[in-house]
A and B are shown apart, each in its own frame.
Chain A
């Protein structure tokens, strides 16, 4: 022992460190063993960490907002969808705002107008179409969109095709506008309850925030200047810079149109605070009585285009025409810089030229458009009245709605406790036992517990009957339990 200690001392300081090079007679000491073991473990851990490929924050974060019950309900439906013949006890999808009531009209049109879909005649048209990737979009299609949007508003507002920027769906349109109008860390005010998808679409990649403008049932969830001011103050107190207010008119999930005086108030509020105003009018063609809808475009025109450079309208064919799969959305802006920038940015989300061509002829056909809008509105109204009546029979009250593919019903009497937790408990119960997928108000950031959105246009009449029957049985059961 003494000998080896002497040997260690003879080697230089540097040499002493490299004991493993000195030869076997030195050998590792017990201390070195545990040290080696520790080093080995450390190395193993770091290589393990190294082999997990690092991804961006965005890819690994939860800001995609898809953890809410809104999406969980869809998953449950996907796993066990209702089918009248094959799976009569499956989940009925009432959480998806899709319009399937007027497909036959579209099919009829396409059958009568084969040139819309094919290239049977006008061969030379094909080449241009296949190569066309200009972010301005096909002129004929933009013109057709403008005409269609004017028709929906009963010609009370004019739309200039040069101000239309096409995007692959309204989802992309809303995200694009947020990229253009807000920097990361800024915020947008949105009257609540609002469409749950906004949490994802407006925030995920853009880094922007949403501050809800809480509306309540005392005045039918209408937006008031007071609510807007309160939300603005809250945003400022939290250190956010407010860049805009986004309204959905007709409202999702309420199913109501915003009245003219309220629209004017909102525009005045935006102008006073020097922020933008985005009006998402995706359900504008789904208003049961067309006179009841007032577009922000009308307000802008009536005011002689004063403050118009802050107004932007978002539209899409997904709801009114029932064509969400086609991915056709549009931004209409009165602000030249926004139009130019949006156009360039739409490179990331262009509409297929084939689809543009197909729809250009369809939307320019005045006879078809008039007939379609009228029939579609009538059918939606019938469905709406049917479901409201059916829910009433089940003892459920709905907010008085006049538009959209859904209604806003009040299940507060059925809650064990009038809290968010109580609401989610009821939602889970309805999903798992009644096998109905409806959207809880908390996913829509509603400040009052107990409200639910139920969609009626994405199923056949028969299925709707089944759903209402299930609901009736459920409420009867719940009432009995409560009485006891």
Chain B
């Protein structure tokens, strides 16, 4: 009774100071709080279908992370861990990681395990490892010996600069110039080297934004960014959907809308992050769009991060244009543009952990080189790579042969999918193709897509990456990496996919 009376007064608009304003204000505040906690993490346009999100794990991770200051501080048992830790200690339901795990446990091998899982979910290039191996067999010794042909551990073992040896920076900057086909040269003192592109992206994020700020990211995007950029930094990723009608090219008006919507929500956007060649679609950003992006970030006074890790893995007719080239030619403020690179894709050596942050911004360089101490490259690996990258003849040969093999493999794979009635988006780079399986899914929704993914994984034992993990708003798209396969494996893979399609 006592509860109803004041509410009645409020509803009738005659509550006086306490009932008329205090209680409605309190209710309003709690409503806002409730809405914020349960706000969906996607951006401007609603997805074309409603779906029970299998990505609840991801979104809850995002929520609990950006709200870690509000989360309950009490411990439920002995030695509880932080909210950051707890969010990740929970099992990962994200199909991207589930698929990778299943494949790792029972990997396909033509001779020893022909019934194993075929890995199409990992953008790894195995096509040209033999070239690297051959080089190493003939050259490894020299790479570790000093000038006097002595095995000098002293030079290798002692503390090195955290952001990489200058010799390696010089070799990497030359390599990057080579990759971009000699159109630009990179300054070695503007490089910070890290143990892989994963920490490079995280370190750059730490430098450009605070917890609670956001980056705009055209989607679909690489699922790893949800971990690399959001997890420990507290930065929000706001997907800006791209459409198949436009071959998933970036739309500046869409970026503009997303920016304005974030502003309304009170979220400060600090940067736009793009990948070029795009992961997972494989298309290249053309010159006009790059200029549009630069205009956009200049107008909004934010940063632009261009992840160009697949720059050397291009094939097809389109010419790759790095954002660095545009900066060279046009008169844009260079201090707002940062490039991420790494040797895991173009040189097929993800295990060695070489990542690059390239920036013209002195403050960013100063901060990143300090942060690189947490992710430094191992010295013997640096030495080895200095030798390898300095071997100009080997590098040009390698890049040419690798491109050719990628082109052939991509053509074979895409043709194979075409025969099954699956079309791929037009792509000129990357180690994968972006396949449209929307006609093969039960219901045109994320649920339908994940059902197909599940059947592909558990029945066909083929792990492809579903578009929903890449935040694609159109259901049915899958990223299939072909660079982990041999040519002879392709018919087998197509056969397995066919059985799943036919049983549909």
Contact A56 B126 (CB under 8 A): no
Whole-angstrom CA separation of A371 from B299 in the bound complex: 65
Provide the B140-164 mask, 1 if CB < 8 A to any CB of A, else 0. 1100100000011110111110000
Contact B380 A56 (CB under 8 A): no
With beta carbons under 8 angstroms apart, the residue of A54, A103, A241, A335 that contacts B301 is A54
A133-B353, A309-B79, A326-B379 given; A348·B69 CB < 8 A: no
Chain B residue, CB-CB nearest to A123? B133
Contact A55 B351 (CB under 8 A): no
Whole-angstrom CA separation of A182 from B85 in the bound complex: 9
Chain A residues with Cβ under 8 A from B68's Cβ? Answer: 183-184
Say yes or no for A484: interface residue by CB 8 A criterion.
no
Say yes or no for B499: interface residue by CB 8 A criterion.
no
Contact B206 A354 (CB under 8 A): no
Say yes or no for B329: interface residue by CB 8 A criterion.
no
Whole-angstrom CA separation of A337 from B227 in the bound complex: 18
Contact A180 B85 (CB under 8 A): yes
Query: Nearest Cβ distance between residue A118 and chain B, in whole angstroms?
Result: 4
A123-B133, A276-B79, A324-B158 given; A56·B208 CB < 8 A: yes
Contact A107 B151 (CB under 8 A): yes
Contact B152 A59 (CB under 8 A): no
Interface of B is mostly: helix
Say yes or no for A275: interface residue by CB 8 A criterion.
yes
Contact A120 B380 (CB under 8 A): no
Whole-angstrom CA separation of A274 from B209 in the bound complex: 34
A168-B378, A327-B376 given; A354·B85 CB < 8 A: no
Which of B83, B137, B157, B210 has the largest number of chain A CB atoms within 10 A?
B157
**Stretch from A171-179, A226-234, A445-453 that touches the partner:** A171-179
Chain B residues with Cβ under 8 A from A438's Cβ? Answer: none
With beta carbons under 8 angstroms apart, the residue of B137, B159, B374 that contacts A119 is B137
With beta carbons under 8 angstroms apart, the residue of B351, B380, B381 that contacts A133 is B351
Whole-angstrom CA separation of A182 from B68 in the bound complex: 11
Residues 94-149 of B at the A interface (beta carbon under 8 Å): 104, 124, 126, 129, 132-133, 136-137, 140-141, 144
Contact B378 A352 (CB under 8 A): yes
Contact A59 B380 (CB under 8 A): no
Contact A349 B129 (CB under 8 A): no
Chain B residues with Cβ under 8 A from A351's Cβ? Answer: 195, 353, 378
Whole-angstrom CA separation of A309 from B79 in the bound complex: 7
Provide the B323-353 mask, 1 if CB < 8 A to any CB of A, else 0. 0000000000101100000001000111111
Contact B364 A325 (CB under 8 A): no
Which of B88, B336, B361 has the largest number of chain A CB atoms within 10 A?
B88
Provide the B149-187 mask, 1 if CB < 8 A to any CB of A, else 0. 001111011111000000000000000000000000000
A55-B208, A326-B157 given; A118·B141 CB < 8 A: yes
**Stretch from B196-204, B283-291, B389-397, B452-460 that touches the partner:** B196-204
Chain B residue, CB-CB nearest to A180? B85
Chain A residues with Cβ under 8 A from B195's Cβ? Answer: 168, 327, 348-352
Whole-angstrom CA separation of A484 from B370 in the bound complex: 47
Chain A residues with Cβ under 8 A from B84's Cβ? Answer: 179-180, 183
Query: Nearest Cβ distance between residue B58 and chain A, in whole angstroms?
Result: 14
Say yes or no for A75: interface residue by CB 8 A criterion.
no
Chain A residue, CB-CB nearest to B202? A348
Chain A residue, CB-CB nearest to B376? A327
Chain B residue, CB-CB nearest to A312? B79
Contact A171 B374 (CB under 8 A): yes
Say yes or no for B89: interface residue by CB 8 A criterion.
yes
With beta carbons under 8 angstroms apart, the residue of A123, A131, A341 that contacts B126 is A131
Whole-angstrom CA separation of A118 from B133 in the bound complex: 10
Contact B140 A117 (CB under 8 A): yes
A51-B333, A98-B158, A276-B79 given; A171·B384 CB < 8 A: no
Say yes or no for A353: interface residue by CB 8 A criterion.
yes
Whole-angstrom CA separation of A355 from B382 in the bound complex: 11
Chain A residues with Cβ under 8 A from B210's Cβ? Answer: 56-58
Say yes or no for A6: interface residue by CB 8 A criterion.
no
Say yes or no for A211: interface residue by CB 8 A criterion.
no
Whole-angstrom CA separation of A204 from B371 in the bound complex: 9
Chain A residues with Cβ under 8 A from B375's Cβ? Answer: 168, 172, 348-349
Chain B residues with Cβ under 8 A from A327's Cβ? Answer: 195, 376-379
Say yes or no for B504: interface residue by CB 8 A criterion.
no
Chain B residue, CB-CB nearest to A309? B79
Contact A354 B378 (CB under 8 A): yes
Contact B129 A131 (CB under 8 A): yes
Chain B residues with Cβ under 8 A from A324's Cβ? Answer: 157-160
Residues 405-456 of B at the A interface (beta carbon under 8 Å): none
Say yes or no for A262: interface residue by CB 8 A criterion.
no
Query: Nearest Cβ distance between residue B450 and chain A, in whole angstroms?
Result: 22
Whole-angstrom CA separation of A350 from B69 in the bound complex: 29
Interface CB pairs A-B, < 8 A, 27: A55-B207, A56-B213, A96-B159, A106-B153, A107-B151, A110-B151, A118-B136, A126-B136, A130-B352, A133-B353, A179-B82, A180-B81, A183-B83, A201-B374, A325-B156, A325-B157, A326-B156, A326-B380, A335-B81, A337-B89, A341-B81, A345-B231, A348-B199, A349-B374, A352-B352, A353-B353, A355-B378
**Chain A residues with a Cβ under 8 A of chain B:** 50-51, 53-60, 64, 66, 96, 98, 100, 103, 106-107, 110-111, 114, 117-120, 123, 126-127, 129-134, 168-169, 171-172, 175, 179-186, 201, 204-205, 241, 243, 274-276, 307, 309-310, 322-328, 335, 337-338, 340-341, 344-345, 347-355, 358
Q: Could you list 10 further interchain pairs (A-B, Cβ under 8 angstroms) beyond the known A60-B363, A60-B367?
A: A117-B380, A131-B124, A168-B378, A171-B373, A185-B69, A243-B82, A274-B78, A348-B199, A348-B202, A350-B195
- Report the 10 A-B pairs with minimum CB-CB distance, sorted nearest first: A353-B351, A325-B379, A59-B367, A352-B378, A180-B85, A132-B351, A118-B140, A310-B79, A355-B378, A352-B381
